[in-house]
A and B are shown apart, each in its own frame.
Chain A
Amino acid sequence: MSRALRRAARHKGMWVGGVIVLVWVVLALLAVPLTGWSPGTVDPDLALDYQSLPPSWLRSVELPPDVEPRRFLAGTDDGGNDVLGRVLYGARYSLVIGFVAVAISVALGVPLGLVSGYYGGRLDGLIMRCLDVVMAFPTILLAIGIVTVLGQSLTNLMIAVGLVGVPGVARQLRAQVLVVRELEYVQAARALGAGHLRVLGLHVLPNCLAPIIVLATLGTATAILETAGLGFVGLGPEPGTPEWGLMISESRNLISRAPWAVITPGAAIVLLVLGFNLVGDGLRDVLDPRGRA
């Protein structure tokens, strides 16, 4: 363990990723006091005056005389909203949806992978073939299908993104269980008369924790990307919600007039996903030095 800690201390990429994620969490929490924007703060009468203003540091356009020179670091969108305010506020959606979705993937994928890898035989074959079928569908289409069947809502969005991640978790965990169940101490526990449930819960599962943690971290990155994709095709939260994918979709027709309204949420997605990917890659290096890829 101490060796793993020493490796962790030296892993720069992981620390950079960790800081990025932490900063995003803080920004999401402080979005309103930092930018003064929250849903519904734009006065509909003033919205037109503030429509599609460029970022304040660009200032290439003269403001109308009666508009107070507020600072919009990332400009404003079509509805006169502060783009930066919406993006920071929108981090709440990405973070919460990402975490909940991964929790769903892990909660369903881990038992499936454990049972499949431990018992093997026909049950294993059946579970794996079913997962093959699910994995044959492109993830974004599968998520689209699930949202269509369940109905469009924030909860169902999380369920869809979570369900789509289940086969990946189950398969990787199964591979790990196949290795662990052959280890001598597991055989010894069986020989001592421990039941299957006890062996699974006390001996196999704890030795699969490292890959589960890595999978969950990298899975959060994927979940955030998929959420943005669903928001982009219009199956995410309802129109007007400051969800990043939806923001890009709603501003895409103004791309030549207000490119900042598309680029800022795009950059936000890349930064947050990159943070989780850095942490996930780092954790894999630290927890399982043999499994580098």
Chain B
Amino acid sequence: MIAAVLPWIVISATALIVMLLTAIKRDHLYISIITSLGLFIAMIVQTIKIETTAYENNLISINSTVALLSALLILLALLLSSLLYPWLKKAQEPSEEYYLLFLLATQGALIVAASSHFASFFLGLELMSLSLVAMVAYVDKSSKALEAGIKYFVLSALASAFMLMAIAIIYLYSGTLNFSEILTQLSSNQVVAENGNNLVLSTAIVLLLVGVAFKLSLAPCHLWVADLFEGAPLASAAFLATLAKAAIFILLIRLFEDTHWYQQSSVITILSMIAAASMLIGNLLALLQNNILRLLAYSSIAHFGYILLALLAIAPSSPLAEQNNLSNEAAIFYLIAYLVTVLGIFAILMLLIDNQQLKDFKICSFKGLFWHSPGTAMVLAVLLLSLAGIPLTIGFVGKFYLTLAAVNSQLWWLLAVLIVSSIIGLFYYLRIILSMLEKTEQQGNTAPASILNIAILALISLAVIGLGVFPGQMALVIQRIVVS
């Protein structure tokens, strides 16, 4: 028991220490180091246990897949936390509390990812969301951040309400909140059995999907995301784009499998529509954006549309070849590829702000970046190509997995949408690269960036290219973990 949740204990303990230290003596540097250290230890503990962990009780269930993804989440949090220091140092507000919120949100994300019961799911979700609200609004005198914070708070509460309604309906008919028991309980229920089809379950699932789609900013519940990315502090937006969404998606996979959603044809239809709409709407709206953060926000809608394909491919409807677990592997690989790449892009944006080169993130302010700071521009170009799915980057391998899984499950019309929207997507990624390539006379005044920031960028770009060129080992690890 303790072994399985040891990383959680470490993170919670770190949060407590940070809280106490803040109360006793404020020191930004110490707290920053303690946060990173705590996350680092948690990550080590989690990584050691990936293949041996298997723990289940009524509230949570940790298997090696969850352990792997948790390790990934903690790693992302660790990378992000080490970027916080230079950014927060410039902020006018006291900065120590941000670390507390950050740790709590991370803890919430981990709980959501591991939950197998609606109670633990909801608690984790609220822990994450409420911390995020504060993180989004956490910045000096920026009305945009406040606006974003309020927007996120209200809509997030609404989404929670939808989910609670869904949970209540499920409980009403099945008498259980445990994911894996719902189905058996429902089928033994008199009312449901008499009505024939599981209309109740479908209703509940649709309500639940509304909440999940909101959290993942899938179309048509995507309207908030661009304002939030633009208004929120970069670090909070990065957290939202990576950890928060990943945790919810991991949960979605689990719900999909454990409660056998794929047996409901209406759910499959709805999910397919959501996937197609997200891919198209995300990419089409991204075309119109001039701000790179808004562009990233819309592209994240599209990317979660893509990854829904892997989820839909899990449904065992007439696969071409009995490739066991291919769809699961595809979902995990794509998730990893996307998260690492997006975190890299946020790290670059933070670096650029740090260097005072950029005040805003209009695409045209990247003009000539390639010529006056080639290193940064190259990394950004590689990351964008990875998002676009060009070979020799991790993004391509992810897209390859996805295509293979979707072809295997014969999702032909969704694949057609995937192709069309990928082409549209490529257009705006190339636009940024073109802008960086434009010839300019003006010299960038590059202040030296912090070594930590550069090191993290180097690490991420190494991972993006390294795993793009040699994905063999990682593919084997994922296969082994999914099978076990």
Same complex for A and B? Answer no
Q: Which residues of B come within 8 Å of A, CB atoms? A: none
